Structure 1
Amino acid sequence: MAFLDIVTLFLAGVLSGAVNAVAGGGTFLTFGALTLTGSLPITANATSSVAQFPGYITSTLAYWSDIRHMWRGALLLCLISAAGALAGALILLSLSNPSFRALVPWLLIAATALFAAGPWLKPKPKAGVKPRTGSLAGSAVQFCTAVYGGFFGAGMGVMMLATLGLTESGDYHRLNALKNMLSIVIAAVAIAVFVSGGVVAWPQAAAMVPGVALGGYGGVWLAKRVPQPLLRGFVIAVGLILAGYYFVRG
């Protein structure tokens, strides 16, 4: 890699970690930076998943007090998420780069629209309802979400939080903790498939991971000083620019 590419990927990692800590949507930045520095679409998608993985772990640990009270009940959703992620990742690897490239702008537009609608999709607390996990409807919807997450991770967190809010009970923090826990499962399975398929660009991932960690830590400072709507607008703009870029490139 050229030195400029390393710097670009590191800075994209920093921005991604910070944006994820404050508003979510950091995958747009890592995927875009990998694309612009020469990675093929499937490689960019797989490598971005690797770069984002540490953030899923730290977010889950932050909710440990909630997770330790519900992890047994969430095991079914974890298994379903693993199966869905496996299916999605295998579908991705079955495609050629030209085929996936043709899908990318549409996926980016869908993920950007989902991200833009995020504030209106946040689940509302259900007062007086005893928390439960793993309903039949919730399991079916979670499988579909996991397939998407294994195939293309951008917007997965927003989608999962919205669907969990529709199919599971409990307050927002409980659902967010469950979302973070399931994100680890989905990402871990997808990464295992991508690694076995040899589509991860490890030097590029190594350049981004420290940046993601640094940005995630600094995101707390950023959250106190930059309005979330401004950051969300930035992420939406990046998603639309990337979609336009892929439409033009064909």
Structure 2
Amino acid sequence: MTVLQIVLIALAGFAAGTVNAVAGGGSFFTFAALVFGGLPTLDANATSAVALTPANLASVVGYREEVRKNFREMIPFLVIGIAGGAIGAWLLITIGDEGFRPTVPWLLLLATVLFALSGHINRAIAPFAAKGGAGVKFAAFALMAVVAIYGGFFGAGMGIMMLAALAIIESGDFHKSNAIKNAVAFLIQTVSATLLIAGGLVHWPHAVITMLASIAGGYLGVSVARRVPQPVIRATVVTVGAVLTLVFFVRG
């Protein structure tokens, strides 16, 4: 790695740690930096996923009281997360870089649209959450399973869809839903990271720099990010996602 690449990866890691603690979407920054730092798209995705996993543990710790109180109810979601994360990582390893590269712009586009429309998604889900019913809840559990597989495969934007499904199942208890989302997402990332490491896709020098910088961003950057309105941070993430989507479509 050149000095410029090290600085770029460290800055991206710091930015990812900061925005993940406040709004989500940090993998946009790290994935892009690792690709432009010279890694193949598949390896960049794997390295980014592994590097950001420790920093995301903090969000679980922050909701430890909700996790403790609702742990039994969380078990089905945790099982879905473990299974989905394993399937997603297995699919990623199986298709290889040649299969993964063409999907990157579409995955970035999907994640960007999810971030951009997150408020509208929440409002659209509200009537279904109020209505409830066995059929609606089954559909929500099915969505959770799909999101878990997506999270093991790529991950950006999975929190938004997970919260949408949980809003139906948990009938509007946001903090409980957020605690479940954080715990399930962390399990998805941990299982996925384990398989990606075993698959030899992680570049450790890049991962360690990203990991340390993201932890610093999560710890030090939050105090700065709190002073910036969340819509501004979300708009920044959406803008970065849109630019990256365009760049990867042009690159083919």
2:161 to 159, 162, 174: 159
Structure 2 match to 1:39: 39
Q: Which amino acid aligns with 2:50?
A: V
Aligned partners of 2:77 and 2:180 also within 8 Å: no
Structure 2 match to 1:93: 93
Structure 2 match to 1:197: 199
Residues 49 and 120 (structure 1), Cα distance of their counterparts in 2 relative to 1, 3 Å cut: same
Structure 1 match to 2:208: 206
Say whether residues 1:216 and 2:218 are aligned partners. Answer: yes
Structure 2 match to 1:119: 119
Residue deviations 1:42-61 (CA, integer Å, cap 9, x gap): 11111111121122210000
* TM-superposed deviation, 1:219: 3.3
Q: Which amino acid aligns with 1:205?
A: A
C-alpha separation in 1, matches of 2:72 and 2:169? 18
* TM-superposed deviation, 1:138: 4.0
Aligned partners of 1:22 and 1:219 also within 8 Å: no
2:145 to 120, 143, 146: 143
Structure 1 match to 2:56: 56
Say whether residues 1:181 and 2:201 are aligned partners. Answer: no
Q: Counterpart of 2:201 in 1: which secondary structure?
A: coil
Say whether residues 1:242 and 2:244 are aligned partners. Answer: yes
Q: Which amino acid aligns with 1:53?
A: T
C-alpha separation in 2, matches of 1:127 and 1:44? 37
Question: Over the residues paired in the alignment, what is the CA RMSD in angstroms?
Answer: 2.1
Large movers: runs of 4+ above 6 Å = none
Residue deviations 1:52-100 (CA, integer Å, cap 9, x gap): 1122210000000111011122112111211111111111111131321
* TM-superposed deviation, 1:120: 3.1
More displaced 10-residue stretch of structure 1: 213-222 or 54-63: 213-222
Aligned partners of 1:22 and 1:222 also within 8 Å: no
Residues 230 and 249 (structure 1), Cα distance of their counterparts in 2 relative to 1, 3 Å cut: same
Residues 67 and 244 (structure 1), Cα distance of their counterparts in 2 relative to 1, 3 Å cut: same
Say whether residues 1:230 and 2:232 are aligned partners. Answer: yes
Structure 2 match to 1:103: 103
C-alpha separation in 2, matches of 1:93 and 1:121? 31
- Identical aligned pairs, as a percentage? 44
Residue deviations 1:179-205 (CA, integer Å, cap 9, x gap): 000011100110111011100111101
Q: Counterpart of 1:106 in 2: which secondary structure?
A: helix
* TM-superposed deviation, 1:157: 1.3
Q: What TM-score do the two structures reach when normalised by structure 2? A: 0.91
C-alpha separation in 2, matches of 1:178 and 1:107? 24
Alignment size in residue pairs: 245
* TM-superposed deviation, 1:139: 3.2
* TM-superposed deviation, 1:218: 2.4
Say whether residues 1:13 and 2:13 are aligned partners. Answer: yes
Q: Which has the higher helix share?
A: 2
Q: What TM-score do the two structures reach when normalised by structure 1? A: 0.91
* TM-superposed deviation, 1:146: 0.5
* TM-superposed deviation, 1:234: 1.3
